[in-house]
């Protein structure tokens, strides 16, 4: 069960925050990227009297897959993958966990698992959403090769820039957490990417209202 009064929503920008604030949800704007997200999440959790449910949210790019998601689709992350922590070698990418340096003891390889109860709760409130992995990247996929490689290597549905950091910080502080995003654009060659921010933010309103509903 998701109790709106116990939720802490973490987003990167003010525009992403607006739907959640309008729905009456406690919302933190972290700034873009993993460091900002981890620091903001940590400070916010430590400033509360009781441990919240943490929801990383905002917009995301759809990765190329046979079942690629469309703009406006909602993705509930069952895991947040630290997708570019590691090393690139002549034989391919090796993750940080494969190198023997796991990011946290509670992680599943290079992924932070979302809380199962929160995933189920969101899925019940957002029946049209798809559940699957979301990749967290420091550099977005602006070429077809990068987007295809990321999708094939991680199995992720979408990419964003904060989720794994939010979930990792929450996990270190004993908070249950989940990531939920709305597709705003495609990935791949930048000149051919299709964006529709208005459609994506309209869908984000639906996400916020679903979380806030009793």
Task: Enumerate domains of the chain plus CATH numbers.
Answer: 4-212 (3.40.50.1580)
Mean pLDDT of the chain: 95
Report how far residue 62's alpha carbon sits from residue 70's, in angstroms, rounded to the nearest whole number.
7
What is the rounded average pLDDT of the residues 127-132?
A: 97
Q: Is the pLDDT of residue 93 over 90?
A: no
What is the rounded average pLDDT of the residues 100-121?
A: 88
Name the pTM for this structure.
Answer: 0.94
Return the pLDDT at 113: 96
Q: Where are the beta strands (DSSP E) in the chain?
A: 7-11, 26-29, 53-62, 74-82, 86-89, 92-95, 111-113, 130-136, 158-160, 177-186
Return the pLDDT at 149: 95
> Mapping DSSP to helix (H, G, I), strand (E, B) and coil, where does residue 124 land?
helix
Q: How many beta carbons lie within 10 A of that of residue 65, not counting itself? A: 16
Report how far residue 154's alpha carbon sits from residue 123's, in angstroms, rounded to the nearest whole number.
22
Question: pLDDT: is 10 or 89 the higher one?
Answer: 10
Return the pLDDT at 135: 98
What is the rounded average pLDDT of the residues 72-80?
A: 98
Q: Is the pLDDT of residue 1 over 80?
A: no
Report residue 97: phi and psi, to 5°. -70, -40
What is the rounded average pLDDT of the residues 157-178?
A: 97
Residue for token pair 């987007």? 147
Q: Is the pLDDT of residue 105 over 90?
A: no
Return the pLDDT at 91: 87
Report how far residue 54's alpha carbon sits from residue 45's, in angstroms, rounded to the nearest whole number.
9
Return the pLDDT at 202: 98
**Spatial CB neighbours of 84, under 8 Å, sequence gap ≥ 6:** 137, 138, 139
Q: How would you classify the pairing of strands 26-29 and 7-11? A: parallel
What is the rounded average pLDDT of the residues 95-114?
A: 84
Return the pLDDT at 86: 84
- 169, with CB counted inside 10 A (0-12, 13-18, 19+), is buried
What is the rounded average pLDDT of the residues 71-97?
A: 91
Return the pLDDT at 101: 84
What is the rounded average pLDDT of the residues 203-207?
A: 98
pLDDT confidence tier of residue 98, bands split at 50, 70 and 90: confident
Report how far residue 67's alpha carbon sits from residue 184's, in angstroms, rounded to the nearest whole number.
16
Return the pLDDT at 184: 98
């Amino acid at each position: 069960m998701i109790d709106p009064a116990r939720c802490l929503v973490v987003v990167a920008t003010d525009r992403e925050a607006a739907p959640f604030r309008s729905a009456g949800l406690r919302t933190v704007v972290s700034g873009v990227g993993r460091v900002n997200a981890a620091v903001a999440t940590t400070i916010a959790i430590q400033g509360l009297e009781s441990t919240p449910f943490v929801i990383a949210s905002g917009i995301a790019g759809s990765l190329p897959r046979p079942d690629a998601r469309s703009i406006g689709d909602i993705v509930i992350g069952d895991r947040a993958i630290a997708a570019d922590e590691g090393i690139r070698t002549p034989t391919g990418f090796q993750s940080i966990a494969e190198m023997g340096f796991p990011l946290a003891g509670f992680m599943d390889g290079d992924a932070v698992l979302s809380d199962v109860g929160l995933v189920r709760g969101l899925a019940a409130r957002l029946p049209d959403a798809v559940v699957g992995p979301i990749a967290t990247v420091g550099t977005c996929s602006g070429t077809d090769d990068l987007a295809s490689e990321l999708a094939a290597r991680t199995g992720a549905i979408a990419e964003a820039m904060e989720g794994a950091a939010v979930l990792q910080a929450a996990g270190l502080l004993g908070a249950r957490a989940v990531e939920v995003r709305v597709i705003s654009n495609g990935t791949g060659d930048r000149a051919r990417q299709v964006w529709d921010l208005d459609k994506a933010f309209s869908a984000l309103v639906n996400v916020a209202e679903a979380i806030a509903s009793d």
